[in-house]
Amino acid sequence: MEASTVGGVQDITATIGFFLELDRLKGVERRNWLADGSRRENTAEHSWHLGIAAMIMAPFAVETIDVGTAVCMALVHDIVEIDAGDTFAYDQSDSAGKREREVAAAERLVGMLPRATGARFRQLWDEYEAGETAEARFVMAVDRMAPMLLNTAEGASTWREYGITRSRVIARNGPHIEPALPAIWQEALARLDAATAAGMIGAD
């Protein structure tokens, strides 16, 4: 498609501006560490990892998944952290106002894009947040699964730092992962149990 058919120079400028704005996501640090324990991951890395996970884990999903939609959703779902920052999954005090911050961020960011592209990004983000489609449930499951696998691979430093126990990990992640990816959940649970037995994380 030629640039003139999608709005010409203004749309190109807006698209490049959005692309450069997304670079800021690389500077948003998350709590969990890389699997090798060398440093904490950032949100851009997390989103890329989820996109790949959506591709390779779709065959294990209970529901039929449109992989292209799931990958796009995985890549888009956390762009709001450019403005809103990362909210630690187990920190209830930090979750106050999270929805309002993220909606405001979504509105600003998609507003930078040409109208049709911005609408697509917002639709993907809203779909993920609502969690009512097969793709949204799948991406939510993958999103919960990724930190579990990284924590058990790395040695559970984040869980120990914040006093997170096995039962809390299961309570937060199980209801999302198990229904969507039961086989993946069983393997993640086995790794969690091994970490618990090794004293990396408390049981309760």
pTM above 0.95, yes or no: no
Domain containing residue 43: 8-197
In a domain, residue 154? The reply is: yes
pLDDT tens-digit profile of 21-60? 999 999 999 999 999 999 999 999 999 999 999 999 999 9
Residue type, 184: I
Residue 57 lies in a domain: yes
Average pLDDT, stretch 146-172? 97
Q: What is the pLDDT of residue 1?
A: 38
Nearest-angstrom CA–CA distance, 115 and 165: 45
In this structure, the chain runs to a length of: 204
User: Residues 6 or more apart from 90 whose CB is under 8 A from it?
Assistant: 162, 164, 168, 172
Domain-embedded: residue 2: no
From the list 37, 41, 61, the residue with the least C-alpha distance to 49 is 41
6 or 127, higher pLDDT: 127
Q: Which two tokens stand for residue 30?
A: 């998350």
* pLDDT confidence band for 91 (50 / 70 / 90): confident
Give SS3 for 90.
coil
Structural domain contains residue 185: yes
CATH number at residue 126: 1.10.3210.10
Q: How many domains does the chain have?
A: 1
Residue 81 lies in a domain: yes
| Residue 3 within a domain | no
Q: How many helices (H) and strands (E) does the chain have?
A: 10, 2
Q: Of 5 and 185, which is predicted with more confidence?
A: 185
CB 77 within 8 Å of CB 47: yes
What local confidence, expressed as pLDDT, does residue 68 receive? 98
DSSP 200: S
Q: How far apart are CA 15 and CA 100, in angstroms?
A: 25
Say what the pLDDT of residue 97 is.
85
In a domain, 168, yes or no: yes
